[in-house]
Amino acid sequence: MTTRDELLTVRQVLDELGGVSRRTFYRWREIGKAPEGIRLPNGELRIYRSDLNAWLQSLRSTA
């Protein structure tokens, strides 16, 4: 049985991060300090939950 990775909206990611502002999140993306994301054909950004978890783990490792 394979498990499908959940695609999160930016809003869901911000909520998971404890209410980080959208502006801060996009600033982090600009400087390469945010989890990888994909652009959907409609232009919206989605983040795989596994990428978010890996990114959070890397932050814990460096702290």
DSSP string for the chain: -PPPPPEEEHHHHHHHTTS--HHHHHHHHHTT-S---EE-TTS-EEEEHHHHHHHHHHHHHH-
Specify the pLDDT at position 6.
Answer: 93
Specify the pLDDT at position 2.
Answer: 55
2 occurs within a structural domain: no
pTM: 0.83
1 occurs within a structural domain: no
Q: Number of structural domains, the chain?
A: 1
Read off φ and ψ for residue 45, nearest 5 degrees. -95, 140
Give, for all 63 residues of the chain, the pLDDT tens digit. Answer: 556 889 999 999 999 999 899 999 999 999 999 999 999 999 999 999 999 999 999 998 886
19 occurs within a structural domain: yes
For the CA atoms of the chain, what is the radius of gyration? 12
53 occurs within a structural domain: yes
Residue ranges making up the domain that contains 36: 7-62
